[in-house]
Amino acid sequence: MKSKSCCNQVKQARAIERWQFTLYLLVAACLLGMPARVRGDAPGWMHAAVSAPLPVHDEKTNAVLLYEEQDVNVISTDKIKTTIRRAYKILRPDGRDYGMVFVPFNSPGQKINGLHGWCIPAQGKDYDVKANKEGAEVSLPKIEGSELITDVKAKVIAIPAPDVGNIVGYEYELEEQPLVLQDGWSFQRHIPVGESHYQLQLPAGWEYRAHLLNYPDIKPEPAGTNVWRWSVSNVKAIREEDQMPPLPGVAGEMIVSFFPPGGAPGKVFSNWREMGIWYKGLTSGRLDASAEIKQKVAALTSSSPDTLAKMRVLASFVQHDIRYVAIELGIGGYQPHSAAEVFAHHYGDCKDKAGLLSALLREIGVDSYYVVINSERGSVASDTPANVEAFDHAILAVSVPKDGKDPSLVATLQHPKLGRILFFDPTNELTPFGEIGGYLQANYGLLVTPDGGELVQLPTQTPRMNGVRRTGKLTLDASGNVRGDIEEVRLGDRAWSQRWILRTVTKDSDRVKAIENLLSSSLSNYVITKALIENLNVTDQPFGFKYTFEARNYAKNAGDLILVRPRVLGVKSSAILETKEPRQFPVEFEGPVSDSDNFEIALPQGYVVDDLPPPVDADFGFASYHSKTEAKGNVIAYTRTFEVKELSVPISKAEELKKFYRIIASDERNTAVLKTAK
């Protein structure tokens, strides 16, 4: 439920200095133009940073955050004022982006006061810029996966002269009417931090609870009556690595909850159970079925032979007939619209679709429960404190009937009170009922029940539920050309990803590009002569490719010998760990997977096998790889399997993973030697 939109994968911070979307930068550039270089003295807190030592950094660092201050003044349950100050030093040309400041806010519940920026150049006098004069107020750009209608806007300023060697900074006040009495201090990021401070002021009689994530404990210092101050210094940067955990799972952060005397119903919680009660209150009365919903359920399920069949048809209806559209105004970023409203308009976001499905299932006597979760596995851990900002997505946990023994229901958990429950994501149009995508497997979500909430870990599906089964019958000629037929069967996320790529493609010539991308990773000179796609829109069946191709000069002539690679297609090796810098974070896989290749290559007339690559048997626990090359008459038969069994490989096993990938790479390069028959 972060960034208001439960299923919006665009995460926003209190201030976004380095916006990741080029479109937003272009919008701001058009609105602001080149900032006028107005002279104005920077404040004392910025000048104090000029002489501060730079935090530890390397030669690739574009900028460092010299100083950061977040002063939170809790005035009442309905009013909080927060002052933000930041100062950066630009070290490389790419660091100029830190001169563009975006401060998002939700109107009318939030207001930005006094956004003011400065530049302290290495030579000459200071520059300044004020939002009320040179800045702009913009709405978020409409990008795929974002809201259709939202009240999130941003104040924007472009600080003059953000050049190498200069210091840029800004400050502003955020005045808000909080939905919950909770705050976050994110003090670690992708650049080094010199100093970061968090100050909290509470009214008399109030209490707080602070919880550190991914960082050693920090003790606050008293800074006045009911005022506390936390500080960190020389915080190292988080270097981005391929397949690393998401930033919330590794970055230092503090979650602070505020507790007024006597409590504040609907605005405060201290644990997951209480957060579940809070969210249950947001959904109260919104899952009731209208007369139209009752009629639709009856029509959809009239020919279904049993409860499980009815569940499937209702799930399919919400998946495919209710469009994903997010309209989020005020508390609408957290609270679902009523099921009747979603059904009437035939659109909604993740929490709306989950709510409608819950209402539909209730009409056939099946209970279901909200699960709020993060769409990036690893963002929430078992020790994460109850935190409204932890989640950005909503799915459903559905009670499985006692006679629901269908083996296709694999995404299930045996709950001590609720019985067997099935997790299902109605927003994901391409994953069939009974399964969940890799992004949800082993992920932690808040299960919302009548008794409150509890943090549960979703199940991990077996590798066989996700993979590519590829078979090929090929013929090699004496010139080294190979031709033949390939058949691929794709399951789970392997099927989901291809269906997603092809979801808007209408021309057959464009659909073939997906096959071309596969071939181009293994072959340098090929032609596809025939191609067929199977079960593109039938999501409860395996997705398939069938194609015929020719590749010239695939095998290499060496005198009277021919060198041919038995592994014709598919790359399982990876150079992810072939870097100069040591790995900092675990390697995360998208999900369990089991892929297989079986190729038969008929030899050219007059040739026989002289030498074959050795078999490979590599099992490292977290993953395994097995291959074998055999001569069967006039055919070379190559078989291999690649399996990922654990979703995360810790740093302690990084060298093992590197060795594993090198073994695969060697096997993928190996060649068989053919000679002329005597």
Domain map of the chain by residue range?
A: 22-238+247-259, 272-455, 464-676
pLDDT at 55 (0 to 100): 96
Helix (H, G, I), strand (E, B), or coil: what is residue 12? coil
| Topology alike, domains 22-238+247-259 and 272-455 | no
Task: At 480, list the tokens.
Answer: 């080294």
DSSP reduced 3-state for 630: strand
Alpha-carbon dihedral sign for residues 110, 113, 196, 58? positive
DSSP 293: H
How many whole angstroms separate alpha carbon 354 and alpha carbon 319?
A: 10
Ramachandran quadrant class, 161 (left: phi over 0; alpha: psi -120 to 50; beta: rest) = left
Classified by CATH at the fold level, domain 22-238+247-259 comes out as Immunoglobulin-like (2.60.40)
Q: CB neighbours of 229 closer than 8 A, spacing ≥ 6?
A: 197, 198, 199, 200, 220, 221, 222, 223
3-state class (DSSP) for residue 94: helix
Q: How far is CA 529 from the centre of its chain?
A: 37
For the whole model, what pTM was predicted?
Answer: 0.90
- For 7, half-sphere exposure in the C-beta direction (CA atoms, 13 angstrom radius) is 24
Token look-up 């596809």 returns: 528
Question: In terms of Cα–Cα distance, which of 339, 477, 570, 439 is closest to 7?
Answer: 439
Residue 104 is predicted with a pLDDT of 87
Virtual CA dihedral for 617, 621, 623, 627, nearest 10 degrees? 10
User: What are 473's strand-pairing partners?
Assistant: 485, 600
Q: Is 160 helix (H, G, I), strand (E, B) or coil?
A: coil
User: In the numeric block, which tokens belong to residue 411?
Assistant: 């995404």
Q: Determine how β-strand 393-399 pairs with β-strand 323-324.
A: unpaired
Highest CATH level, class, for 272-455: alpha beta
Helix (H) / strand (E) containing 256: strand 253-259
What are the residue ranges in the chain where pLDDT is below 50?
A: 1-6, 8-23, 26-27, 30-31, 34, 143, 145-147
pLDDT reported for residue 2: 40
pLDDT at 3: 38
Strand partners, 288: none
CATH number for the region 464-676 comes to 2.60.120.1130
Nearest to 178 by CA among 277, 278, 94: 278
The predicted pLDDT at position 505 comes to 86
Q: Is 297 helix (H, G, I), strand (E, B) or coil?
A: helix
